[in-house]
Structure 1
Amino acid sequence: MITENEILEQPSMFQKCISEYKNLVSSVKEDLLRKKYSEIGFVGCGSSYYLAMGLAFNIARLSKGRIKTKAYTGSELAFDLNKINEGSLLIGISRSGESTETLYALKKTKSTTNATTIAVTCTPNSKLEEEADHSISMNFINEESIVMTKSFTSMAFIISVLFQDILDNGYLDYSEMIFNSSKIILDKMHNEIEIDIKNIDHFVFLGYDEYFAASMEGLIKVTEMSLSEVNSFPTLEFRHGPKSKVNDKTLSVILPNPVMLQKEIEIADELSKLGANVLIISPKKTNNFKYVAFPYGRDDFSDWFLRVIPLQLLGLKKAVSKGLNPDSPKNLGKVVKF
């Protein structure tokens, strides 16, 4: 299957991003260092919106609040629900570079403000790239599947490396940790984690901030590929009503953060007592639950997109168990245009 192969290719894509990093980001990095933006918007649609959300949370965190960030859907900027402030930066994210709302968002922003625009795509010579002041175009990603997998994590990775670099956070060490962790995550999901996926008919993905963005991307992946019931919430919010749906056919996947780890593990224990199957995805392993642990050694939340990989695989496995073809998701095409 094309989708499965592309999920498994993610470590090699990270490696390629690292080798091409300086060439990919040279003009963008120069602009960021010269102008020192205090406000950055990220805009995308579908999976690219949750990519924008995760990046917005993380870059504000890495800059310790010096850089104000916000994630936008393409439509809210394109059709005047919101706007970018004068003199800020807008980064448009689109695998194809052709998503209508994201393209309109950049056009509207350029025509109504003096904001700088950057396009991040996996397709060379796209309309989004032509519209933007600068671009990062990763044509080597070459994703064939309709469902975004390696393109999502690769675009998240290259932008994360860029800001780790600009903020002097040791981007080479960061890159190495991401690459090594991705290999271990795939290995554990294939060889160590046993889940009776045929018996699961309700998925719940829980996390905060960057990890909520990862949970929402997981919701999209499992929905697209397997047409299953999927929910996503900030972790403790699941206790306030939605936990009424939990039963022995629920798989609850928690993406805990280092600040609230103990409280989130307590929720895992509560859900387990209600009959749910529980899976934890985190570098910090605790007992009692199935765990995908990996050697990411920082508490900066910048591993957030790695935690999408197990959720991609869950969607793939559930689709196959239902006799569905994840390469041909229902009602979907590769590019969404008006």
Structure 2
Amino acid sequence: MQAVQDAVNGGSEIFGQDVSRLDALGGGVTAREIAQQPQVWPQIDALVAGQRGQVDAFLAPLLARPELRIVMAGAGTSAFIGECLAPGLLRQGRRVEAVPTTDLVSGPDRYFQRAVPTLVVSFARSGSSPESVAAVALADQLVDEVHHLVITCNEEGQLYRMTQDRANALAILLPDATHDRGFAMTTSFTSMLLAAALAFRVLTPGVAARLAPAAGQVGARALPLLTQLVDGAFRRVVYLGSNELRGLAREAALKLLELTDGQVVAIHDSPLGFRHGPKTIVDDQTLVVVLLSNDPQARRYDLDLLRELRGDRRAGRVLALGARQDDALGDAFGEDAFVFSGADDAQDLELALPYIVFCQSFAYLRSLSLGVRPDTPSMSGTVNRVVRGVTIYPFDREVSDVPRS
């Protein structure tokens, strides 16, 4: 990926194309933001390490309480960060749920419990989405003891400003490079995911340096495969992943929908869940991407479905993304698998970062192939970078209506 990184530093090419041409096509910003991620991640690692004392002073007393409930919240892509993180926190013995702010706002009495000490973890690129701001206010209104951890990319956002000078709140502000200017969340997604995983010690310091080379392989080595996939002109794409990678599959599907302005239908599921009805979507215009787990238990199920899909011969193409060579994959450099080298011992949450760079890159290149401008893909103008048109209504039910446990 050296050519890509050179472009970020002022060079001439990204994805094998001249940056000035990508700018003219309306995609230069998003291309740079996808390409810069391996360089940004070590900055996130260093930032969390530098704030370790402050983070621990806030989190450690809360996490020591077995009754603490953690609600991981965000809207759209930001909500999927919590879905990726929750399995790792559950393995730590935490009580954690990923609940989109869009659900918290529409049914706060379904999700907040008044008498249960709660830590709300809010993920936000801009920090100004109406639902994200309202979710914090509703938590304050409906929970007797609530604490807030905000992980955001924007110092000017309302969420960041709301946390200042509050004893029950802490904000982790990420570098300005993470505040994507393009429509799609790319660097912001991976950076907030990494920051939270480090803050909660789901991942260990130094992980970014291990992951950056893997993500870097989505340059020269993956580019021929990405070009083949784009040339396939698939009208439907399915992303499948287990556990931590299920949330990632959801984000991959959203990226493709967003960047192609909905011209490519994209869905997600788990490999086991896919058989229970959603598999009917598969036809010869469908690309299926299986995000292979490194976890031995989950991997068995992933490989079973991979074999089944290939045996069915219904899909236009079935691609495996993995980090371990396996007889079921065939040649690691063959047309039906891409194996990230040097990541065979990575946790699935670690694999999420290079995997999503591959998926973002495919979505970006497919967008260009359709004549869409990736930096502003909504041709109708009805979908916006920061959501508009949301009216926030007060929740004025009697407090006795809010569950206590």
Q: Establish whether TM, by shorter chain, passes 0.5.
A: yes
2: distance between equivalents of 1:102 and 1:14?
Answer: 25
1:87-126 matched pairs, under 5 angstroms: 87-113=117-143, 114-126=145-157
Q: Quick check: 187-196 or 115-124, which moved more?
A: 187-196
Q: If you compute each CA radius of gyration, which structure gives the higher value, 1 or 2?
A: 2
State whether residues 58 and 301 of structure 1, in contact with CA within 8 Å, keep that contact through their aligned partners in structure 2: no
Pairwise CA RMSD of aligned residues? 2.1
Consecutive unaligned residues in structure 1, runs of 5 or more = none
2:250: which partner in 1?
216
Gapped regions of structure 2 (runs ≥ 5): 1-27, 164-168, 331-335, 391-405
| Equivalent of residue 232 in structure 1, options 245, 268, 278 | 268
1:334 corresponds to: 385
Give the structure 2 partner of residue 284 of structure 1.
324
Residue 182 of structure 1: how far off its partner (Å): 2.0
**1:152-173 Cα deviation digits (max 9, x unpaired):** 0000011112222xx6x6x234
Bigger CA drift: 94-103 or 274-283?
Answer: 274-283
| 1:50–1:217 Cα contact (<8 Å) kept | yes
2:154 maps to 1:154: no
Q: Give the superposition deviation at 1:41.
A: 1.1
Change over 3 Å in CA distance of 1:224–1:192 after alignment to 2: closer
The yes-or-no answer on 1:264 pairing with 2:295 is no
The TM-score, its normalising length taken from structure 2, stands at 0.76
More moved, 285-294 vs 141-150 = 285-294
Summarize deviations over 1:289-327 as a string: whole Å, max 9, x none: 322324235464222531222111111111111111111
- 8 Å CA contact retained: 1:110, 1:117: no
Match of 1:245 among 281, 287, 305: 281
1:193 touches 1:290 (CA, 8 Å); kept in 2? no
The within-5 A match list for 1:140-219 is 140=176, 141-164=178-201, 171-191=204-224, 195-198=228-231, 199-219=233-253
Over 3 Å counting, the alpha-carbon distance change for 1:260 and 1:27 in structure 2 is same
How far 1:253 sits from its partner (Å)? 0.5
Tell me by how many angstroms 1:78 deviates.
Answer: 2.6
Q: Any idea what SS the aligned residue of 2:60 has?
A: helix
Q: Matched residues in 2 for 1:11 and 1:58: separation? A: 23
The residue that corresponds to 2:371 in the other structure is: 323
Q: Is the 8 A contact 1:186 1:309 kept in 2?
A: no
The alignment partner of 1:279 has SS state of: strand
Structure 1 counterpart of 2:222, one-letter code: M
Match of residue 13 from structure 1: 40
Tell me the TM-score normalised to structure 1 length. Answer: 0.90
Structure 1 counterpart SS, 2:288? strand
Residues 48 and 310 of structure 1: is their aligned pair in 2 closer, same or farther, counting only changes over 3 Å? same
Match of 2:268, SS state, is strand
Is the 2:289–2:319 Cα contact (8 Å) retained in structure 1?
Answer: yes
Aligned equivalents of 1:78 and 1:242: distance in 2? 29
- For 1:108, give the aligned amino acid: L
Bigger shift: 245-254 or 46-55? 245-254
- What's the secondary structure of 1:188's corresponding residue? coil
| Identity, % of aligned positions | 21
Q: Post-superposition shift, 1:263?
A: 2.6
Q: Which amino acid aligns with 1:253?
A: V
Contact 1:2 1:145 in 2 (8 A): yes
Cα deviation for residue 128 of structure 1 reads 0.7
